[in-house]
Amino acid sequence: MEVQRYVWEGAIPLQIHLHESEVTTLPSPPPALFLAPRIGYLPLLIPLIKPHFAATLPPGIDTVWFDYKGLPLKWYIPTGVLFDLLCAEPERPWNLTVHFRGYPNNLLIPCEGEDSVKWNFINSLKEADYIISGNCKNVMHMSQPDQVELWNSVMNGNLEAYLRASSKLKFGIIEDEYTMKMDLRSQKSRKTTGEADMGGQMKTGKIPVRLYIWSVSEDFEDLEDMPKIDSWDKISYINRPIEIYREEGRCFTLHDALKTLIPEFLTDKSLIDEESFRVEGEDEQLVLSEEVSSNKMAAEGREISCQSVESSCTSGAAEIKLVRIQGIEPKLEIPFSWVVNNLKNPEHFLHICVCLKFAQVNSYDR
Amino acid sequence: MDVSCWDGTLSLNEFSRAARTFAEKWKIGNSAFPPWLWVNVPKRPFVASQQVDGFLSLENICLIRPSKVCGAEVSHLEEEETGFSEKEVAIDDATLVLSNHHEMHYYDFHIVYSASYRVPVLYFRGYYSDGCPLQLNEIEKDLPACSAKVLLESKWTFITQEEHPYLNRPWYKLHPCGTSEWMKLLFLGEAALAEKRVAIELYLVSWFSVVGQVIGLRIPIEMMNDRTN
């Protein structure tokens, strides 16, 4: 899977600064530069980061955490998602502050290094398993060595090893309507009634999705001018599966998918935009070229007519300003099944960052 | 709905109905305790509005170290019963405040619906009277003795520390992955005695009869016996 490879090779350049309160030497150490895998997690970088700052740290036990402009970062959110969410205008490199002391226990769940990240990953995988197949048996019955292999493949960003290890999970991939219909057309002349024409793809109705929404009250010319997110309370996090509804002659698009979770919005601007897949320059190895995507879409567009999205909803109080998945801003008419199969994270969740603009100012205090 | 083809889960709307029933029966049958309150999820105007989003909350409950054991003898209890002096000696050097009296532990419990597992999940946190949070090893001491064992072995009562789905703070939760299975068994057992249908509004009552025991909040018999709506 070409696209999956690009996603796995995608990385965010980080510039890590040690928090000034923890600098005990002069001159203060220079920031450390790293490429953080999109599908990885910040705590996994700690063994690489620590040597840069070890000499200057005050004595004591390390409890490592990161912040971006003062906002403590939730370590269990994949790095790429944090970046897509918190940097409206992608910052290159992304400047983060690392702390080795003063873990904000009242805000962040504790992290004991790789083990915490691994168990969080496995639990998310179990949750995805439950959503897709109705129970956690696929994951629970995975042998210890297979689980280790799966986790290591994620840590090392090794897609081949991951595909090998996760094939034992028997999740299958979402029935991709385009591929299926193209197969059927070519098979029309031959009678293959006995064969499952899904070609090994499983029919699943429920997709594990994690939606991160932030809202603005006005239009911004430049993404840079958007108010920064200084508290997690400003982000609505929706962890709810999306159910795919299949209608005859019509594909279930990304727009349809979002609508099931956030139904009250007007026309979405990205339909009017000319750009298709926009490449974010900072993802050095994520080269999802426009030719690749538009050729694919054009070819499949001939086969199936994809009904264009309705232009407006009734009571729309909000407007979609931005939808980001793996650093990409996809067109909303793209079939949701394609988005899921290609852009999901290794724990089988699709993480979507959305910016909504409201007609009036909404403030919600907790 | 026939019990035999039920999968042990419930929808969000069924959850809010069951929550209402649970809270009502609790008030009637458990008047010594404060009532469970329904809390609406903080306003998110753009979320699918047909969903009634909220959770049940019971807060500031003092769980005094249980004097009764729920069953067999457990050897480590004997150590705990030697009294306060041992407790004081064991206090961490880093603690600046030494209390002369038995430290009270307070707990907040939230019953939250999980859209992924389609079951209720118990979230809880413990703290001292000054609001300082309790660590898991301290919480474990407040739990019924058999829970400590079961917790280690059984996956469906596994406690994890996770972020509260709505409050952006770390809470503990009882992992829900086996819930639908044992709920189905529970209802099957009850159906053998009474009707074949699933009285979904009683879901939380049954659910809590199991989960409550894990954390030491016992459900009175009166709540369980009353099968009428």
Same domain, A202 and A320: yes
> Exposure string (b/e) for B143-160, b if CB count within 10 Å is 16 or more?
bbbebeebbeeeebbbbe
Q: What's B117's domain CATH number? A: 3.30.1460.50
With beta carbons under 8 A apart, name residues in chain A contacting B177.
Answer: 126, 130, 136
Residue from A248, A242, A267 nearest A350 by CA = A242
Q: Contact at 8 Å (CB) between B111 and B174?
A: no
Residue where a domain terminates, one of A44, A76, A99? A99
pLDDT, residue B143, reads 78
Token pair belonging to A31? 């920031």
Give tens-digit pLDDT for B50-84. Answer: 566 889 999 988 876 543 333 223 333 333 444 44
Q: Using the predicted structure, report yes or no on whether residue A180 has a pLDDT greater than 70.
A: no
Domain of B114?
3-224
Q: Contact at 8 Å (CB) between B45 and A264?
A: yes
Determine whether B132 is an active site residue: no
Q: Quote the mean pLDDT of chain B.
A: 74
Counting every residue, how long is chain A?
A: 366
Contact call for A261 and B48, based on CB within 8 A: yes
Residue B229 lies in a domain: no
Contact call for B170 and A110, based on CB within 8 A: yes
Give tens-digit pLDDT for B116-132. Answer: 999 999 999 998 888 88
Q: Quote the mean pLDDT of chain A.
A: 79
Q: Contact at 8 Å (CB) between B75 and B146?
A: no
Residue A335 lies in a domain: yes
Kindly state the average pLDDT of the residues A135-154: 91
Same domain, A131 and A165: yes
Task: Give the C-alpha separation, A137 to A139, whole Å.
Answer: 5
Residue A298 lies in a domain: yes
pTM of this structure: 0.79
Task: Give the C-alpha separation, B7 to B181, whole Å.
Answer: 8
Contact call for A215 and B46, based on CB within 8 A: yes
Residue ranges of alpha helices (H) inside chain A are 2-9, 46-53, 79-86, 114-133, 137-140, 144-155, 159-167, 177-187, 254-261, 290-303, 336-343
Kindly state the average pLDDT of the residues A356-360: 74
Q: Which helix (DSSP H) or strand (DSSP E) does residue A158 occupy?
A: none
pLDDT, residue B72, reads 28
Residue A104 lies in a domain: no
Number of domains chain B is built from: 1
Burial class of residue A179, CB neighbours in 10 A (0-12, 13-18, 19+): middle
Could you tell me if the ipTM is greater than 0.85? no
Q: Using the predicted structure, report yes or no on whether residue B204 has a pLDDT greater than 50.
A: yes
Contact call for B161 and A110, based on CB within 8 A: yes
Domain of A31?
2-99
Residue B165 lies in a domain: yes
Same domain, A88 and A126: no
Nearest to B48 among A134, A260, A356 (CB): A260
Residue A151 lies in a domain: yes
Same domain, A32 and A153: no
Tokens 């852009």 sit on residue: A343
Residue from A173, A184, A190, A219 nearest A340 by CA = A173
DSSP letters for A203-230: ---EE-EEEEEEEESS--SSGGGSPP--
Number of domains chain A is built from: 3
CA–CA min distance A330, chain B (Å)? 21
**Strand A209-216's sheet: what is its strand order?**
A235-239, A209-216, A350-358, A318-324
Same domain, A203 and A352: yes
CA–CA min distance A351, chain B (Å)? 15
Residue A105 lies in a domain: no
pLDDT-above-70 percentage for chain B: 65
Task: Give the C-alpha separation, A332 to A345, whole Å.
Answer: 19
Q: What's A127's domain CATH number? A: 1.10.246.190
Same domain, A119 and A77: no
Same domain, A266 and A340: yes
With beta carbons under 8 A apart, name residues in chain A contacting B165.
Answer: 237, 239
Same domain, A218 and A323: yes
Q: What's A93's domain CATH number? A: 3.10.20.620
